[in-house]
Chains A and B, each alone.
Chain A
Amino acid sequence: MTVGQVFREEWGRVLATLIGFLGDFDLAEEAAQEAFAIAADRWPRDGVPTNPRAWLMTTARNRATDRIRRDRALEAKFGLLVAGNRGEEPMEITTFPDERLELIFTCCHPALAVDAQVALTLRTLGGLSTDEIARAFLVPERTMAQRLVRAKRKVKAAGIPFRVPPVHLLGERLDAVLAVVYLIYNEGYGGRDELAAEAIWLGRALSELLPDEPEVHGLLAMMLLHDSRREARFSDGELVLLGDQNRSRWNTEQIAAGRAELDRALALRGSGPYVLQAAIASLHAEVPCDWAQIAALYGELTRLTGSPVVELNRAIAVAETEGPEVGLRIVDQLGLDDFRYLHSTRAELLRRLGRTDEARDAYRRASKLTDDGAERRFIERRLTELADTTGSTGS
């Protein structure tokens, strides 16, 4: 393993254990940073130790205890208290509990604002630097640094517990954790690949830590299946719709991995929103697509979430099996007037029905509502095609 890979794998784990041991985010982060810096200096020269995790933990722990001892000695000088003699013995490997779960539940506690939950999760578990997180979310580094400082301060001041929630809270708290991972994935979906990769990495860690939770596997499956089409979604920087994608550019390994996760979720009798979305994504990766089954799954998802956006997706699937007219009837009942995909969906269905003028108006509405360059260029191409067929009726 390279030094970089070890860092990637071990940062969250070392930090989590240190926070559990020290009970202090800042002290733990400083100590971990020092240990990783020493490793970055020594390992390329002397080689990676046989047990890199134990090395990093012990070094970080020693740094932290040195620091505490220095602080205590300083206090003792002023007669406040006498420095204790703890932390001399090296930690045994068996005494390193994996506390990443405690850490992620703390980072995603509902008493923190969602953007703070996201930042803290990426910083502590993901090991991204403040600068990297700031760039990924398009905010100045100073803003992100303040957000992290404030979040860590609140964890301490408000008494947010460092623990896996008890059973009666686990469900809702796990929902919050999954929502954070999903949000990171969604931010990455529009082309910021490093965030999508980070979300999948977090999803993998969660599925190892909570192997009996179907929604955890469902979320990971959904992310893997969507991500498998990343290469095909754009061609020369232009958006390509699912039906027009070059399937040889789909990542078959990732599709298989996604389906394996979905199977685990189904074996656990999962039927929650993430499992349903993963099942839909899996069907999308089949040729030909089973649109009737997809429509049925979206129907179930609407029942669970009550979301009009899900209903819009169902309309698209229904249009494939029962014709654009039936799909359009569903779309026209949805109160999503400011949602660009409502208008682009309407436009597409109207185009197929040969109602060219209405289609054009709908495309223009959609174009006005988007700030994404690739989407806008896609709509422009559709409008040009419509202009070419003006005068003809039927599709």
Chain B
Amino acid sequence: MKYIMLIYQGAALERQAALPEEEQKQVYADYQGINQTPGVTPGLPMGLPENATTVRVEGGKTLTTDGPFVGMKEAVGGLFILEADDLDAAIEVAARVPAARYGGAVEIRPSEVYW
């Protein structure tokens, strides 16, 4: 199964910034570890939601607004692709993502073939 793993930072970035240096290093090391896990294809590092631009088209007109589609706190913070046997295996990898233990979350989406 192929899964798209969406990382939501929630309060995680703030909480991580307040951590002692050793623990911050551990956070980086943990992300590194995720990227090197067999089956993982890392996504490009994602910039902050406050630098996002949201585009809609209404009546043929392009409407551009500042910020993410959802609220700043609810915006996607990063993603990676995971090839795993089943959902339990994906849950185990998700639980290793630092954001998940610092007030954020990981959403597991199965990939789908539409065409």
Contact = CB atoms under 8 A, between A and B. Distances in A.
A44 B3 CA distance: 50
A25 to B, nearest CB: 15
- List the 7 closest A-B pairs by CB distance, nearest first: A161-B86, A159-B1, A159-B86, A159-B87, A160-B87, A158-B110, A158-B87
A165 B88 contact: yes
B86 A157 contact: no
Contacts of B110: 157-159
Given A109-B87, A161-B85, A169-B88, 14 more contacts: A111-B87, A158-B87, A158-B108, A158-B110, A159-B3, A159-B85, A159-B86, A159-B87, A159-B90, A160-B86, A160-B87, A160-B88, A161-B87, A161-B88
B22 interface: no
B21 interface: no
B112 interface: yes
Contacts of B84: 159
Contacts, number: 25
B112 A157 contact: yes
A109 B86 CA distance: 12
Interface residues of A, number: 9
Contacts of B112: 157
A100 to B, nearest CB: 19
A345 to B, nearest CB: 38
Interface string A135-173: 000000000000000000000011111000100010000
Contacts of A165: 88
Interface in B70-115: 84-88, 90-91, 108, 110, 112
Nearest to A110: B91
Contacts of A161: 85-88
Interface string A109-126: 101000000000000000
Interface string A82-118: 0000000000000000000000000001010000000
Interface string B1-24: 101000000000000000000000
Interface string A312-349: 00000000000000000000000000000000000000
5 contacts: A158-B87, A159-B1, A159-B110, A160-B86, A165-B88
* Chain A CB within 10 Å, residue with most, of B3, B84, B87, B91: B87
Contacts of A109: 87
B113 to A, nearest CB: 11
Nearest to A157: B110
B87 to A, nearest CB: 5
A294 B90 CA distance: 44
Contacts of A160: 86-88
* Chain B CB within 10 Å, residue with most, of A109, A158, A160, A165: A158
B112 to A, nearest CB: 7
A178 B112 CA distance: 33
B110 to A, nearest CB: 5
A165 B1 CA distance: 18
B23 to A, nearest CB: 25
Contacts of A169: 88
A157 B114 CA distance: 13
Nearest to B109: A158
Interface string B52-80: 00000000000000000000000000000
Nearest to B112: A157
A165 B85 CA distance: 14
Nearest to A111: B87
A161 B85 CA distance: 9
A159 B1 CA distance: 7
Nearest to B86: A161
A110 to B, nearest CB: 9
A152 to B, nearest CB: 14
A84 B105 CA distance: 45
A105 B11 CA distance: 33
A242 to B, nearest CB: 43
A165 B3 CA distance: 20
Contacts of A111: 87, 91
A19 to B, nearest CB: 15
B107 to A, nearest CB: 11
A56 to B, nearest CB: 29
